[in-house]
Chain A
Amino acid sequence: MTDRPSNHPTGLIDKCISSIAKGAQDALTELYNLTKGAVYAYALSVTKNVQDAEDVLHDTFVTIYQKAHQYKSHSKPMAWILTIAKNLCYQRFRQQGRFCDMPDEQLERYFVANTQLSADDRLTILACLQKLTDQERQIVVLHAVSGLKHREIAKLMELPLSTVLSKYKRTIAKLKSILSEENQ
């Protein structure tokens, strides 16, 4: 299996973080526009709660702004950003005592009301949130949306690379079957 090419220009993101460390507000805006989808998708895939995911999105970028000076470029800026998001997700988990998954019908209501989404988008996001296990969802989102390489996903999720590879393959096949069925 080949790794999906990154959706996020590593060099540009790297440069944005360096500029943020020097206090450049416009670099923060640029970084936000480049990576907000990846961060939100990951946070939503972990928390399964749109409000929590939005809060994690917010806190992640404030933390990036705070800690940009600590970032050392190793050509893996997305892994760094998503590690911050992961820690914030788990911090919420600690504060709340448990993950507060939104019930399925609440998720449905939320996404139906979101006019930014096409019918296909709605079907896809609900399939990911309702039909996949947490691990499956995080693996596909981290690869397909956040553009992380499988080995980076393995490191972030503390899983063996072979597990990530096989789960990714199986989950894509599962989604294919679900989406084909629902599209009929």
Chain B
Amino acid sequence: MNKKQIENRIQSAFTSATPNNLQSIQADCQRVPQQTTRRTNFMTKRWKIAAMALAMVLVVAAVFGAVDLSQNAYAATVTIDVNPSISIEIDGKQRVVSVTANNQDAQIILADIKEDLVGVKVNVAVKAILGQMLAKGYISEISNSVLVSVDPQKGKWAYDEIVKSITDEIDIVMTEKNVDCSLMSQQVKRNQAVEELAQKYDITVGKAQLIYKLLSTPDSTYDEAKLAELTVNELAILLGKHGNNDKDIERKGAASDKAYITKQEALTAVVDYLNTNSVVEGLTEALTTDSIKKLAEFEIDLDFDNHTMVYEVDFEVAGYEYEIEVDATTGVVVDYQKSIDDKDDDRHEVDVNKDISEQDKQELLNKIRTLVDEKLGEGWFDEHKDGIKIEFDKGEVEVEFFYQGKEYELELDINGRVTEHMPGGRPEHPHQDDPTNQALISKDEAKSILLNHAGIAQDAVLVDYEIELERADHGNMMYYEIEFELGGYEYEAKVNAKTGTIIKFTKQAD
């Protein structure tokens, strides 16, 4: 077969396969008016809004008169990040010189309007873009955050003028559409670390600047790669958690958390978990969602950990600090930590820079032996010493080992005080109903669940297929991480190894 014959076969195959639906097309064309309006009976409400936004751009462009492109030298770059990310270069008269889609979502937003935006005032362009984002569901009551970043050529005064014009417009659009907007605006500052972050994760400098802020918050434990995957709304939620006192980012309105379970639902999950496993010592009655709030240092916050938005619940009872994380989407408890509350304890004065002497090491080993044997039986430590990883560092010692397939961690300071005690993420007193005691599903079962979810045949030949059993960082959740390629797409997924629930699924063009 030569090239021509193959082309003819392709043409014949697809042409023969084409259905004939002319009648239904003619019927629809007769039902809807031609030209007079972009609105059609069969189109969705969202498209009606999009069409109105576009019409508004054209009207305002007409009011401003002929498009003057003589001042093409750009004076500032404005970036709008939601999840679609769009960069707009504007001239000294705040007219759009060019518009760039920075990701695939942005291409969808600009598909119908890109050419109409050049030459109009930037606020009008932003209004049209926001209209499209609302129409296509990128901005909604469950994801209401918009980040406006302005990189002016002429300093702060230019920034103030541009950002006001844009944010005022966004305010109007959101008010018209009855969406409580969470609006963040910032001036792009020259910062090498931020620019490297933007380049590394192929995100805008504006979004990188926001991520940099989060990475710079006190006690930040965030992973930059994981933050880079988040939408602006999720970043806004995290920023809100760290207070609203950053003078570099002007904020208006709160980021929506309506995509997640409520605090009350999260608390119910926590209380059920704690009561079922009887892990809180020193309580005379079972916890309720009301009584837990009365415990010392009680706090509940939406946070982000290990690719997941979680509710973090903290409290203290009988000298222990408890920290429990609940998946904010599924309501499942994903992490449980209990550690000794070391506040107000004079004995806990530790010189973190102090090298541990051989004598101290021996004492610490004895302490560790006692703690482990208390938990797992007399003599367990010495029997399994070879499999126990013990690392001495300045001021502390870390212990890691496995028991019945589960990872245990222990940290002690130089004084022998337990600073972190994470018994494999499971309660110290395993209950027979403890979900961690249940059997895991097999790799084949996990694969089958994923293929069903993805609509892929069970016997499909998957390229570069990999499956590994993993444990959530500092959590009790075991999951299978699965990767493969098929039909030009890269699939990545995580399947809960106990419940078989899909906890992450992405499909990206190769």
Contact = CB atoms under 8 A, between A and B. Distances in A.
A148 to B, nearest CB: 13
A100 B11 contact: no
A41 B11 CA distance: 9
Contacts of B6: 144, 172, 175-176, 179
Contacts of A140: 7, 10
B111 interface: yes
A121 B13 contact: yes
Contact of B7 (A37, A57, A91, A172): A172
Contacts of A66: 32, 34-35, 38, 40
Interface stretch (A10-18, A24-32, A74-82): A24-32
B7 A25 contact: no
Given A40-B17, A90-B108, A104 B7 contact: no
B63 interface: no
B455 A101 contact: yes
B13 A32 contact: no
A173 to B, nearest CB: 9
B340 to A, nearest CB: 46
Interface residues on A, range: 35 or more
Given A87-B112, A104-B457, A28 B29 contact: yes
Interface in B18-51: 18-22, 24-26, 28-30, 32, 34-35, 38, 40, 42, 44
A164 interface: no
B447 to A, nearest CB: 15
Nearest to A118: B16
Contacts of A116: 16-17
Contact of B29 (A7, A25, A101): A25
A134 B214 CA distance: 38
A98 B17 contact: no
Contact of A48 (B21, B28, B487): B487
A133 B488 contact: yes
A158 B7 CA distance: 23
Given A29-B22, A87-B111, A104-B457, A134 B14 contact: no
Given A28-B26, A32-B22, A179-B6, A145 B455 contact: no
B14 A44 contact: yes
Nearest to B24: A58
Interface string A97-115: 0111111110000010010
Nearest to A97: B137
B18 A37 contact: yes
Interface residues of B, number: 47
A155 interface: no
A62 B456 CA distance: 32
B489 interface: yes
B302 to A, nearest CB: 23
Nearest to A174: B6
A99 B487 CA distance: 12
Contacts of A68: 34
A57 B19 contact: yes
Given A25-B29, A66-B40, A69-B35, A117 B111 contact: no
A136 B13 CA distance: 17
Interface string B492-510: 0000000000000001011
A15 to B, nearest CB: 18
B136 A133 contact: no
Given A58-B25, A103-B456, A136-B488, A40 B32 contact: no
B10 A144 contact: yes
A93 B112 CA distance: 16
Given A57-B19, A58-B21, A90-B108, A141 B488 contact: no
Contacts of B17: 40-41, 44, 111, 114, 116-117, 121, 125
Nearest to B489: A134
B439 interface: no
A19 B3 CA distance: 37
B12 A105 contact: no
A158 B107 CA distance: 10
A61 to B, nearest CB: 5
Contacts of B42: 59, 62
Contacts of A4: 7
Contacts of B460: 103-104
Given A66-B35, A136-B488, A172-B3, A141 B455 contact: no
8 contacts: A54-B21, A66-B32, A66-B34, A90-B107, A100-B455, A118-B12, A132-B487, A175-B10
